Structure 1
Amino acid sequence: MPRSSVCADWVREGGAVVLRVQGVDLRQAWSNGLIWLSLMIGFVTGCLVLVSGGDTSGAVLAGVLCAGLCVTVVGYMRMGLSKREVEIILSEQMLCIVDGADRTEIRLRDLRRLHIVHDGAPSQIAVDSATARIRCTIGQLYRHNRVERFVAEVPASARSWLEEAGLTCSESHQRGVLRSDFRAARAQK
């Protein structure tokens, strides 16, 4: 696959490598409240169509279309408005995540999993440790029909730091999408 423009590249800063990316928390953008509100709007729309003399199939169709339009438009608006810069700083001993005003530091020995989906709409970064669980979705902000690299591959120096801390790396390509998964040996059982 030819490499196109990368939205987020690892940059060496001092003794660490840093990844800066625009990300969003999908649970926040597509909340249960939004889904329930959209369903209620669809239900009310369907009821109004029935009361105004429409048939049942027309009322159901109007309700479904209205609910779908509401959840889609408002969900994408909330996703665009809630995006933020996430900074991942990886050094020999620590993984630091700066997410807006929050700063989380995790020793590499305490890291259970670092999962990166590099390409296309499923692009995301997930970090799991005993003290923190962080999810950041990237690709949903850049929806299009082709697979494009949004997060660069983890540099060799950072790979060696993760492997020295007891994490094993596995990479896979599924439908042209690269996934890197670093897991602690104790978490693989």
Structure 2
Amino acid sequence: MTTKMINFLKKYEIWVFLTLAPLLNFVITFVKSKGIIEFFPYTNGRFYALFFLLVFIVKITKGNEGIKNLFRPMAVWKVHPKWYLFSLLFAFTIGLITLAIKSIYHNDISFLQFQLYIPTLKFTLFLLSWAFLGEVVWIGYAVRVLSKKINSFLATQIIGFVWSLWWLPSVYINVGVIEDLPVWPLFLNMMGAAGMCAIV
């Protein structure tokens, strides 16, 4: 890699990452859609590919210290218990509110009938690993870095938009996402989640 390219990468690091991240998942999803890779490597691989893309960029721009800084926010565990409670109840509460609004709109309370799903230990571990990687990449890195350049809320909405673009190919082939998920709720969800991070 030439000095000119390294300098460009150092200057526009966050924007290079935000451009390459959705493109990377597009390529991985395209390969999956052609049957070249199976469900399991696709579902897990896209998260790890995203993470290693970030590590590669940060290694070039900031060296080993930059890589350590990616994980430093994860070492802070002494936070108020209300935030742990918030993190445990947030998704469930949003889902319940959504079902309640849908039931009122359709005048049909059967939407509120749901079964509690208890995932397997294997799936739970994979889910936690994806959440960990997403936390390091999108929130720990992207929001933190972009917030130094622009208003925090605007930064989170840009991240949320790019985050949605990253998910978009998976939604298009309907693999590894909520089945038949429309595009607009995807953007609403990811931009909302990112915006919430600015407030938190």
User: Same fold by TM-score, threshold 0.5 exceeded?
Assistant: no
Q: Which has the higher contact order (CA 8 A, sep 6+)?
A: 2
Name the structure where strand makes up a greater proportion of residues.
1
TM-score, normalised to structure 2's length? 0.27
TM-score, normalised to structure 1's length? 0.28
Name the structure where helix makes up a greater proportion of residues.
2
Larger Rg: 1
